[in-house]
Copies of this chain bind each other. A is one copy, B any other.
Amino acid sequence: MLILMRPDATPEQIDEVMARIRDLGFQGHAMPGAQRIAIGVTGNQGAIDPAHFARCAGVVEAVAVSKPFKQVSREWRPDDTIIAMNAAAGTARFGGGSFAVIAGPCAVENREQLLGTADAVKGGGARVLRGGAYKPRTSPYAFQGMKAEGLTLLAEARERTGLPVVTEVLDTQHVDLVAEHADMLQIGARNMQNFALLEAVGKQPRPVMLKRGLSATIQEFLMAAEYIVKSGNPNVLLCERGIRTFETMTRNTLDLGSIPLIKRLTHLPIIIDPSHGTGDWRSVPALARAAIAVGADGLMVEVHPDPAKALSDGPQSLTPPKFAEMMEGLRALAGVLGVSL
C-alpha cells in the first residue's frame, strides 16, 4: 500500500496518516519526493482496504502496490536515488544523470600492484577504486585473497589517491571489519540470495553494491535489494554483471536489454560490469560504450598492470593505457548523451 499525499499536504496531515497506519498495526514510511510526499505501508500480509485512508485530509490516493518489491520500486519513490560518495579526490555520484566509473584489480595481490593500479585508474578518470581482499573462488585450492591484510592495503590506497574504496564481504562475521576499512561494501553474485548477509549489510551505514546473481531474475534481484533497504540501508547500488545462459564463448551474457526496464521498475542506480560480463578485455571498451548509451549509471571494470601475471581474472583485465583509452571514448559519448561523467 502506498499513500500519495497532495503537494500542499501539511505536516499535521502527514502525522495523522502515520498515526492511522500505526493504529492498524502496520508501519508507515514517509518518502519525500521532488514534488510531494508518499507514505509507504509495510507489515501487512495481505491487501489493506484503501477506504481506511480515503477520507484523511491531504491524501490524493491510496494505491495497492502490486509488485512484490516495495521500498525499491518507482511507485514507492518516483525520483532517482543518488548515491554520492564524498572523498578527497572528489565526489563519486551514481544516479540522477551522473555516471561514475569504478576500476581496479580483481584481487589485491600485493602493495606494489595495488598502489600502482590505484594511481593509474585515478589518472584515467575512475572515481572509485575496487579490489578484492576476500575472494570467493570456485575451487578451495585457488588463491582466496589477502583477507584482512588486503583491507589494510586498500585503506592505504585510499589515503594515497583520495579515491573511495569498494571491496567484497563474504560472511556476516566480517561485515564490521570490512565496513571499517572500505567506503562501500560489495555483495558478490554468488551471495545475492545470502539473506543473512543482506540483512547484515543493511544494518551498517556504508552504501552497498549488490551484484546480480548468475541466474537471478530481475524480480529476485530487486527483492534482494529490498532485503537491504528493509533492514535500514537505502543506499543500494545495483550491478548487472552478466547472467548464465547456454552460450559459452562469452564468460556470461551481459543483460543490457534489462537496463531500461530496471530503470522503470526501481529508483535505485545500476551500473554495468563488462569485465565479468564478457570475460575478455578486448570486448570491454565496446560494452562500456553500450552501457553509457543504454542509460546505466556507471561502470565497474577490472584493471591490472600486468594481466598475464594476475592471480585471478587476467584475461578480462584492461591494462592502464587501455583503460585510459576507454575513458576517452566514454567522455565523448557522455557529452552527446547529456550525462555527467
Point out residues on A near B: beta carbons under 8 Å: 42, 45, 68, 70, 136-141, 170-174, 190-191, 193-197, 213-215, 217-220, 223, 226-227, 230-231, 242-250, 252-261, 264, 274, 277-278, 280, 282-283, 286-287, 289-295, 332-333, 335-337
Contacts and interface: CB of A to CB of B under 8 A. Distances in A.
Contacts of A137: 195
A138 B220 contact: yes
A341 to B, nearest CB: 13
Q: Which of A140, A193, A245 has the most CB atoms of chain B within a 10 A radius of its CB? A: A140
Contact of A246 (B136, B245, B277, B280): B245
Contacts of A244: 215, 246
Contact of A260 (B140, B286, B335): B286
Contacts of A289: 293-294, 337
A75 to B, nearest CB: 16
A283 B257 contact: yes
B215 A246 contact: yes
5 contacts: A138-B220, A139-B226, A173-B173, A219-B249, A250-B258
A227 B190 CA distance: 15
B259 A256 contact: no
Nearest to A188: B193
A38 to B, nearest CB: 18
Nearest to A284: B260
Contacts of A332: 336
> Which 10 residue pairs are nearest across A and B when measured between Cβ atoms?
A215-B215, A171-B196, A254-B257, A293-B293, A190-B193, A289-B293, A260-B283, A290-B294, A290-B290, A260-B286
Nearest to A277: B257
A255 B253 CA distance: 6
A329 B215 CA distance: 33
Contacts of A220: 138
A68 B139 contact: yes
Contacts of A294: 286-287, 289-290, 293
A256 B290 contact: yes
Q: Which of A45, A170, A190, A290 has the most CB atoms of chain B within a 10 A radius of its CB? A: A290
B218 A247 contact: yes
A294 B172 CA distance: 39
